[in-house]
A = this chain, B = another copy of it.
């Protein structure tokens, strides 16, 4: 089996070498206009191990990252710098900073020290804008004698003018909420426990106030509904297998988080979206952005890449909006869209068609071999007249994204009307791992509700970004997302898009476009 050195994603953050897992401490430097992203990092080996560090990368656009080496390391080799977050302490509430440090760069990191039998919360601060960190002298700041107590995420709660930490008692299925005025003294406030799907561990909690938009996409300034969101990752034991990230919409009063409904919801329907980390700060100071680890603990240790393993997702921006879950019920849902500006990229020819009534015996082909570097974007809007779909038929509309060098390898995406579900097939590959690993599911499904439905005609939308070995899909303007890795032979980048259907004139493609992209070399 050849290891896939060449297929390292271009626009997704990967480790320079070694192992990457959870994103940590994502923050935005408003002075420099720069994103800082840290991550769980083992530079020595492309496998999780102790000691583990915070790796560090920076990016101005979120689509191309520059590696900055190790930001935080453990005091001893038998400890781990586990996951956590970063804040900007503008007002020097911690007392760590002199006036020499610009308020916009007063970065404090909160992370979990893992030793044999103990996990406790630590504080480190940076005097150089996030590149190097000093450990707070009186660490740990929070030690309750627990062995599975980790992943502090700290936010500023403007309404009560204090810091709020959410941190997981992983194997007791509790998210503990603490408050502080100085980032070092923490007071217990409440617990958010036994919510959603529990799996076998809660990890990487987060809490964020998310902008609420109306149907026209305008922000509702005085929201009548709660617009706080609690994020909880679970692994192992997600119903879809292994690792997944849940979210809960509700109200946070500075002390307690109260979900609006008791329901369980997942952020992403793919197999590879874990440990979601929202950013502290953003370019306009109020948008909520964040990213996740694009892998799954069921197979992360074995993915067939060379001397590096895993990537993060693209940065995504979030908002809450009413979603028509069914024709009888609508409710707030978490919408996401990728941070994605093609002006920052080299662009190939834009292939675009519209108004196609898809016939069963025809194949529509886009030749996109020119400029194929493994990075491309596509979008499609399609409709189906449900009354014309026979229950006895397999009624698909499929997109085959085929390798430029060999069409034996391809990603197949599609929709099947009787299942009401979108699908991703990621097993049309020459890579042994894809077939041999029993957890790397070849087929991934996203059960879709229509974007709109009128007189029995249901309309759907999908937008996708494919980056060498990871695909991110956004459905119906971001009401659902699916992130999934895939592996094909080195440099067999996607060069052909074929559109097919097994049924005649059931589907109409209102609009389809696809474009090769590449990152710009500085």
What residues make up the interface of A, taking CB atoms closer than 8 Å to B?
A: 45, 47-49, 148, 171-173, 193-201, 236-242, 244, 259, 261-266, 269, 297-299, 301-302, 325-329, 391-392, 394, 396, 412, 414, 416, 418-421, 423, 425, 427, 437-443, 445, 447, 449
Contacts and interface: CB of A to CB of B under 8 A. Distances in A.
Given A241-B421, A241-B445, 14 more contacts: A49-B391, A172-B326, A197-B239, A199-B447, A236-B420, A238-B447, A239-B244, A240-B240, A241-B447, A298-B445, A419-B439, A439-B445, A441-B441, A441-B442
B326 A200 contact: yes
Given A236-B420, A391-B301, A418-B301, A438 B443 contact: yes
B437 A394 contact: yes
B262 A194 contact: yes
Given A171-B329, A173-B329, A298 B419 contact: yes
A445 B171 contact: no
A437 B412 CA distance: 12
Nearest to A198: B263
Nearest to A269: B239
B391 A242 contact: no
B200 A298 contact: no
A225 to B, nearest CB: 14
A239 B242 contact: no
A332 to B, nearest CB: 12
A262 to B, nearest CB: 4
B236 A239 contact: no
Contacts of A438: 396, 412, 414, 416, 423, 425, 443, 445
Contact of A298 (B193, B196, B421, B425): B421
A443 B447 contact: no
A166 to B, nearest CB: 17
B445 A242 contact: yes
A418 to B, nearest CB: 6
Chain A interface SS verdict (over half):
loop
A92 B519 CA distance: 77
A328 B242 contact: no
A198 to B, nearest CB: 5
Which of A241, A263, A440: most chain B CB closer than 10 A? A241
20 contacts: A47-B391, A47-B392, A148-B328, A172-B328, A193-B261, A194-B261, A198-B325, A200-B447, A238-B239, A239-B240, A239-B266, A240-B241, A242-B419, A259-B262, A262-B262, A264-B264, A297-B419, A298-B421, A414-B438, A423-B438
Contact of A262 (B49, B195, B328, B412): B195
A171 B326 contact: yes
Contacts of A298: 419, 421, 445
Contact of A236 (B262, B263, B299, B419): B419
Contacts of A49: 391
Which of A394, A414, A447: most chain B CB closer than 10 A? A447
Nearest to A436: B394
A401 to B, nearest CB: 14
A47 B236 CA distance: 37
Given A262-B195, A445-B298, A447-B200, A416 B439 contact: yes
Given A439-B445, A445-B298, A196 B263 contact: yes
Minimum-distance CB pairs A-B, first 6: A171-B326, A423-B438, A264-B264, A262-B262, A194-B261, A241-B445
B171 A328 contact: yes
Contact of A443 (B47, B328, B439): B439
A153 B242 CA distance: 34
Contacts of A239: 197, 238-240, 244, 266, 269
B237 A447 contact: yes
B198 A197 contact: no
A49 B392 CA distance: 10
Contacts of A148: 328
A48 B302 CA distance: 42
B200 A197 contact: no
A439 B420 contact: no
A372 to B, nearest CB: 25
